[in-house]
Amino acid sequence: MVALNKQLKQINPETGFSAAARYVAQYRAEHPKASIVSLGIGDVSRPVIKPVLNAMHTAVDDLGSMDTFQGYGAYYGIDELREAILQHEYAQFGFTKDEIYVSDGTKPDATNLLELFDARCKILLPEICYPIYRNGAYAMGRKVYTAPVDKNFVMRVPKEHFDIVYICSPSNPTGLAYTRKDLKKWLAYCKREEAVLIFDNVYESFISSEDVPHSIYEIPGAESCAIELRSFSKKASFTGLRCSYFVLPRAIDGGLFKERTINRFNGASYVAQKGALACFRKDALRLIQKNVQAYKDNAAFLKHGFQDLGFQVAGGEDAPFLWVAIPGNTDSFAYFKMLLEEIGVVVVPGIVFGKAGDGFFRVSGFGSAKTTKEAMKRIANYYANQA
């Protein structure tokens, strides 16, 4: 029999998102009448906005005539979209269109970028992080190390050498963002160690704190050692459409990733890219902001709700997520099961994001206002009855 990739076995199915999702699915099947509301979702609950839909309808029609048909060729994204991304977000930092890549999701991008680096490179992750960085690196047979986080869930700068550092800010799952000061420390580390920072910035549109930079390139020096990833998924409901982008400065790869991309990717969907392009229209920007604000309002509501119940809660101001400490000594999977079985509320057990996450659970503001309020009401009633 052909030998399988042993590294894939390092992905622990017992503690991943899939285990939690399987548990909920099984519970639903066994209790078809149960009323279940979810605070666990990482998906959006608001539909794609009209200007984007209109642009995609036109794009579909483009494909119906050979005069406007678009096939292979736009490996790094269609020109107009890369230009729009550049003008709206990155020209101010001195980048060129050549350094912008459009792709089909930050989830694959975060791992695919590892193909740029030598397989022996040592990869560093915070011990509580978006699990895809770890599992994606395992799937590619890479060596992964973790660093502890401080009381604000910011990864501590190590003394040892690492080649590639992942930081997600604003963070999934903690809902907190790295401040300018935090990021300066990390950029100084990358400079000193000649390391590269992969900066996952997909929740950028949720930032409201003054001391949190919207882009890593606001900090001088980042342009020579940081790759920034963004996505249309959460801000513009592209979770099913799929369109993302990243800046890979020529100072890092001298254009090498272009060759890799031509050989490994045939570009994001034309229709999705035309939809993404419409996101930069003035009317679209307003609607996107409105949707983001609705998720932020849910997060603020949840934050107050948990705080009123005496929980220790982080996040929710610069990201749609809240990171909540579990009262008592319950492990996070047991607590997740208990909330589901007792009151029909779904949260994400912290262990999904690393062993150090086990005393916590994650909730999100991505639900509708109605389900968010219902879930919080059930949790409040549950604790009132325990008192």
Say how many residues touch ligand PLP, by CB under 6 A. 13
H/E stretch holding 226: strand 226-231
Residue 55 or 268: which CB sits closer to ligand PLP? Answer: 268
Site for ligand PLP contains 40 (CB under 6 A): no
Vertex 275 angle, CA 274 and 279, to 5°: 115
What distance in Å separates the CA atoms of residue 384 and residue 374, rounded to the nearest whole number?
Answer: 15
Residue 106 or 112: which CB sits closer to ligand PLP? Answer: 106
Contact pattern from residue 84 through residue 113 relative to ligand PLP, giving x for each residue in contact according to CB under 6 A and a dash for the rest: ---------------------xxx------
What distance in Å separates the CA atoms of residue 227 and residue 55, rounded to the nearest whole number?
Answer: 29
**Residue 118: DSSP 8-state:** -
Residue 111 or 371: which CB sits closer to ligand PLP? Answer: 111
Site for ligand PLP contains 204 (CB under 6 A): no
What distance in Å separates the CA atoms of residue 151 and residue 252, rounded to the nearest whole number?
Answer: 32
H/E stretch holding 146: strand 143-147
In the list 7, 239, 269, 330, the residue contacting ligand PLP (rule: CB under 6 A) is: 239
Site for ligand PLP contains 371 (CB under 6 A): no
Q: What is the longest distance spanned by two Cα atoms in the chain?
A: 70
Question: Is residue 242 a contact partner of residue 268, using CB atoms and an 8 Å limit?
Answer: yes
Residue closest to ligand PLP when measured from CB atoms: 105
In the list 89, 99, 127, 200, the residue contacting ligand PLP (rule: CB under 6 A) is: 200
Residue 230 or 378: which CB sits closer to ligand PLP? Answer: 230
Residue 108 or 158: which CB sits closer to ligand PLP? Answer: 108
Residue 32 identity (one-letter amino acid) = P
Residue 63's contacts (CB-CB under 8 Å, 6 or more residues apart) are 69, 70, 270, 271
Minimum CB separation of residue 317 from ligand PLP in Å reads 17
Minimum CB separation of residue 247 from ligand PLP in Å reads 15
Q: By CB under 6 A, name the binding residues for ligand PLP.
A: 42, 105-107, 130, 168, 172, 200, 202, 231, 233, 239, 244
